[in-house]
Amino acid sequence: MLVNGKAHKVGAHIDTDAIIPARFLVTTDAKILGENCMEGLEPGWVKRVHKNDIIVADENFGCGSSREHAPIAILGAGIPVVVAKSFARIFYRNGFNMGLVLLEVGDDIDKLRDGDSFEVDTHAGHIKNLTTGEAVTCAKVPPFMQELLEAGGLVPYVKKRLAARKK
């Protein structure tokens, strides 16, 4: 998967309540959740986001409760990729299950600046800063996880597998 977008950098320990506050959990509609993405961090944050932009986060992104609404809100905001120093484990799995690409870059996170334009190649594990020309390498998304992402998440993946069995 190749994504081109602008970076929206956030800090460390951004929890799921910052990503999508509890008051918005009355729906699972991605569009509605996306309209309120990061509302707990900064009201109106999502108004700066364009389709295919990228969240760049410090360590422990997605900590807190294990609500699936958080990755759905990010996807609903038009953001297909989050790059972080590290992720909370349950968020990491929830993200992929919902179809959200998550890439860990460790200390190289400091090379990714807010507002810069990036090209992210999830198959190759390359992140190129189109503004500065600098590149960051990260672990490639494993083939099984790529299949999940290409299907749109775990539920569509399982439905596809079950349908293939019936043939």
Residue type, 109: I
The DSSP annotation for 83-104 comes to: EES-B-HHHHHHHHHHT-EEEE
Total structural domains within the chain: 1
Q: What are phi and psi of 42, to 5 degrees?
A: -155, 110
pTM of the full structure? 0.94
For residue range 85-138, what is the model confidence (pLDDT) as tens digits? Answer: 999 999 999 999 999 999 999 999 999 999 999 999 988 999 999 999 999 999
Confidence of residue 77 (pLDDT cuts 50, 70, 90): very high
Going 97 to 99 to 100 to 103, the CA torsion angle's sign is positive
For residue 80, give its domain range. 2-166
CATH code for position 44: 3.20.19.10
Q: Angle at Cα 57 formed by Cα 32 and Cα 116, nearest 5°?
A: 90
